Structure 1
Amino acid sequence: MTVLSLSGFTDGWMLLFLVVVAGLGLAYWLTTRRTRRRVLRFANLDLLQAVAAGRRPDRLRHLPTVALTAALVFLTIAMAGPTRDIRIPRTHAVVMLVIDVSESMAAVDVAPSRIEAAKQAGKQFADGLTAGISLGLVEFSSGATLLVAPTADHGEVAKAIDTLRPQPRTATGEGIFTALQAIATTTAVLGGGDGPPPARIVLESDGKETVPLDPDDPRGAFTAARAANEQGVQISTISFGTPYGVVDFDGQRIPVPVDDQTLQRITEITHGQAFRADSLAQLSQVYETLDRDIGYQTIRGPARAGWMWLGLAGLVAATLTGLRRNRHLPD
């Protein structure tokens, strides 16, 4: 699709030619006014009125000049090299999928359960992620485990997601720290002349951190988020669940409402994005959004083609109307 843009010129100095175009237009206007005054000054007005009464004014006499001027403007813009935003797949990046497997993920307020829905959506995310991205997987409960180091084999991550099982407690900070270590190891290997590849953490959880109780502790979630921010790693969070979740523990039904505040604060610290989902469908949509955001990058690309075509169309219009007006083309 041809896109017209008037920004990001690569040869902006060429726009100075518009001054010449404006000068030519002004010269034409002054010439026509001077010619009209000369005709009115020396013409027999009675004869001129008689001729004008039997002849329609040529309202299109300026059309060739207008078309030519427009063509010159369009071609000048094209020569100046306008650019536009173009989204292209990333050729290299590191993404760590960090999933909460605490016991609250066994709640069935999301069918068939939070953990099963998370596994299904996570596998869809892994399967649909851009091929040029290295994807890794971390699970966290009372601690954190690196299940898959960042790899281009996204199928390996999908298989590992199938092994997730609920376990006691929630150590969000440990999950982030483990992901950061995997990112550092991978970027040290992949980094080249252009520097390390961009990295992102996608953190999915349903509850606030319980290990440690204070997220500002040295191994807490907020401390880990600040470490991520220092390393230039954004964290996108997904709060998954409803306020009505419960789990059975020793014969008791314990409420496990979803917690948004901790995850929201993590995204604020790292300048990431915060999402919320209370169903499998919503979770899948969130992952699709993240796939589009993470899997592609926006660069500036050329946008002169549209202006070139407009310029050529203007030249053709100027030529055809000029020939027709001078009777070189049949009516």
Structure 2
Amino acid sequence: MIFLSAGRLWLLVGVAALVVVYVVMQLRRSRFAVRFTNLPLLEKVAPTRPGWRRHLPATLFVLMLALLVMGFAQPAAAVQVPRERATVIIAVDVSPSMGADDVPPDRLAAARDAAHDFVDLLPGEFNVGLVAFAGDAQMVVAPVTDREALRAGIDRLAVGTTVARQGTAIGDAIATCVAAVRTVDAEAAEEPPPARAVVLSDGANTAGIQPSAAADEAAAAEIPVDTISVGTPDGVIELGGALQPAPVNGETLREVADRTGGSYHEAATAGELREVYADIGSSVGYRTEQQDISDRFIGIGLLLGLATASTSLLWFSRLP
């Protein structure tokens, strides 16, 4: 927390001075009572003091003043605010290796489920698009705020469908994400929206343009690419009736994240994949702003003022 008008906090010196004066007056009152040497007579003629209760209204009053001064100094707290026109493109590998069941029920099914959870984390005003890629990349759902259309697109993802060629074209997927951001609305060509891409795959690039070139294009467009490597070294798939190893390989994805200023993640289980998406979702498309919270201090201060008046009237039949 910071104070936008910190100089006004000097008024707290006045509040502290009131506390000092109050303490001095209480001490003087105690010394005056001790000077009266006939203590038995003093007990009879002096009214019974209410003890701690006589100090409570004063304490509440001082706290009220302190809070009002702090509110006057305009306290502000850092909050994350969704960026206007923020756009997120999710790219999912649908190559045959994504059918490996080392991440139950299989890599792609786990990716679909986690993608649904990820979409639920994003503010409703975000534009979200979906890209599927194997040997090439295709836009499945253009960036929209329509979450039902997006969920339907995620459910359509299947191994070996949507795309025309076999392979793993990570570079093409990134280039498709960048192109989607540039056409998200009429202003995007001249004033691109704040955007981020999330690319999920299990292997190295085997087709299309080089991921390094696509990553440089994304970096030039100020589009960080977060990458997720899903799978384990023990993954296998069935091709032509025979089992073939499909070990995860995240080196290309790590390089892409490094080049674009994104983050690289590894997920060997469905639970880890959800955690990765949650981690990305907590930071994507937000900016940090200092938000004025003086109303909180003023509100609490006014409540203390009411408490001061109430206790004083209840116990002493007067306002402080």
- TM-score, normalized by the shorter chain, greater than 0.5: yes
**Equivalent residue, structure 2, for 1:204:** 200
Once residues 61 and 120 of structure 2 are traced to their aligned partners in structure 1, the CA distance between those partners, rounded to angstroms, is: 54
TM-score w.r.t. the length of structure 1 is: 0.77
Shift in CA distance, 25/281, structure 1 to aligned 2, threshold 3 Å = closer
8 Å Cα contact 1:143/1:170 also seen in 2: yes
Range 92-101 or range 286-295, more displaced? 286-295
Contact 1:81 1:303 in 2 (8 A): yes
Is the contact made by 1:96 and 1:179 (CA closer than 8 Å) also made in structure 2?
A: yes
1:269 to 256, 259, 266: 259
Q: Which residue of 1 aligns with 2:17?
A: 23
- 2:257–2:264 Cα contact (<8 Å) kept: yes
Which of residues 101, 108, 111 in structure 1 aligns to 2:101? Answer: 108
* Distance in 2 (alpha carbons) for counterparts of 1:126 and 1:103: 25
Q: Which amino acid aligns with 1:94?
A: T
1:202, distance to aligned residue in structure 2 (A): 0.8
> Once structures 1 and 2 are overlaid, which stretch shifts more, 76-85 or 117-126?
117-126
Secondary structure of 2:7's counterpart equals helix
Partner of 2:139: 146
Q: Is the 8 A contact 2:83 2:194 kept in 1?
A: no
Q: 1:173 aligns with which of 171, 174, 177?
A: 171
2:5 maps to a residue whose letter is: D
SS of 1:170's equivalent in the other structure is: coil
Q: Deviations over 1:209-230 (max 9, x none)?
A: 2347xxxxxx432343343233
Structure-1 separation of matches of 2:306 and 2:3: 26
Structure 2 equivalent of residue 4 of structure 1:
none
Residue 78 (structure 1) shift: 1.9
Alignment pair present for 1:94 and 2:82: no
Q: Which amino acid is 1:312 matched to?
A: L
User: Using the alignment, how far apart are the partners of 2:273 and 2:36 within structure 1?
Assistant: 85
Rounded to whole Å, the distance in 1 between the matches of 2:239 and 2:51 is: 89
Work out whether 1:303 is the aligned partner of 2:293.
yes
- Which amino acid in 2 is paired with 1:207? G
Q: Note the C-alpha offset of 1:82.
A: 1.8
For residue 182 of structure 1, report the CA deviation from its aligned partner: 2.0
Q: Which amino acid aligns with 1:303?
A: I
CA shift for structure 1 position 288? 4.6
Q: Would the aligned equivalents of 1:64 and 1:322 in 2 still touch at CA under 8 Å?
A: yes
The reply to whether residue 225 of structure 1 matches residue 215 of structure 2 is yes
**Distance of 1:127 and 1:310 partners within structure 2:** 35
- State which of 232, 237, 240 in structure 1 corresponds to 2:227: 237
CA separation of 1:27/1:143 partners in 2, compared to 1, >3 Å: closer, same or farther?
A: same
Question: Shift of the alpha carbon at 1:328?
Answer: 5.3
Counterpart AA for 1:181? A
CA offsets, 1:5-54, max 9 Å, x none?
Answer: xx2334333322212212222233334445555665xx353x24874699
The residue identity in structure 1 corresponding to 2:10 is L
| Residue in structure 2 matched with residue 12 of structure 1 by the alignment | 6
Inter-CA distance 220–54: structure 2 relative to 1 (3 Å threshold): farther
Aligned pairs, how many? 312
Distance 1:230 1:173 in 2: 15
C-alpha distance in structure 1 between counterparts of 2:55 and 2:118, whole Å = 60
Shift of 1:242: 2.1
3-state SS of the aligned residue for 2:3? coil
Q: 1:178 to 1:327 in 2, by over 3 A?
A: closer
The question of 1:74 aligning with 2:67 is answered yes
- Structure 2 stretches lacking a partner, 5+ long: none
What are the superposed Cα offsets for residues 218-246 of structure 1, whole Å, 9 maximum, x if unpaired? x4323433432333212222221222111
Aligned equivalents of 1:177, 1:163: Cα separation in 2: 19
Matched residue SS, 1:189: coil
2:284 is matched with 294
The residue type paired with residue 65 of structure 2 is: L
Per-residue deviation, residues 118-143 of structure 1 (Å, max 9, x unmatched): 34443554577433122222222233
TM-score by length of 2: 0.79
- 1:175-218 per-residue CA deviation (whole Å, 9 max, x = no partner) reads 112211221233663489xx542101010001122347xxxxxx
